[in-house]
Amino acid sequence: MTDRGSVCEKLLCGPPILNRRPVVIQQGTTCIKRTVVSLAIRVMIDRKPYRVVRELTAPEREILQAARADAEAEQESILEQAREAINAWQETRQVVDLLIAELKAERERQALSLADVEERTGIRRSVLSRLENDATSNPTMLTLQRYAVALGLSLRVALTKSQ
């Protein structure tokens, strides 16, 4: 059987490396104050590096330079695609925000509380409140449909040709 005191001594009270802090170790009915080195730091010091940095060979350098040149040549095209994607997302976000505002207005028109809608939909009040008031909420179609049905409305989605 190992002596608990000696195990504590070996694990916690080795030579000081970094981050010494006083700790109370309880042994039976007595408490012993020790200066302890963080075990996590010991592990980090003993760990081998996972990334090795080395010089590139000539063929690797050529491949890297060619990839950089291609990226620079296509940069404007890539940026344009990103701008189009952002614009499409913003348009969709505006539609969702308008839909949420209409659902909230209908709920208030019917004099329903969030608790009433919670009973009808099974969606928690905190989620409904975030949905109505948080500009960064990202509801699913199912959530919007459940909310609409609870108010006696139906949710319809339509596809149109893009300009």
Q: Are 143 and 131 in contact (CB under 8 A)?
A: yes
Burial class of residue 120 (count of CB atoms within 10 Å of its CB; 0-12, 13-18, 19+): middle
Top pLDDT among 26 and 82 is at: 82
pLDDT for residue 46: 57
pLDDT for residue 7: 46
CATH architecture of 89-150: Orthogonal Bundle (1.10)
**Whether pLDDT at 5 is above 90:** no
Q: Percentage of the chain surpassing pLDDT 90? A: 48
Q: What is the mean pLDDT of residues 104-110?
A: 95
**Whether pLDDT at 111 is above 60:** yes
Top pLDDT among 37 and 102 is at: 102
Q: Are 143 and 123 in contact (CB under 8 A)?
A: yes
Q: Are 146 and 122 in contact (CB under 8 A)?
A: yes
Q: Are 91 and 120 in contact (CB under 8 A)?
A: no
Quick check: helix, strand or coil at residue 127? helix
- pTM of the entire structure? 0.53
**Whether pLDDT at 96 is above 50:** yes
Query: How many residues are there in the chain?
Result: 163
Residue boundaries of the structural domains of the chain: 4-46, 89-150
Quick check: helix, strand or coil at residue 22? strand
pLDDT for residue 66: 93
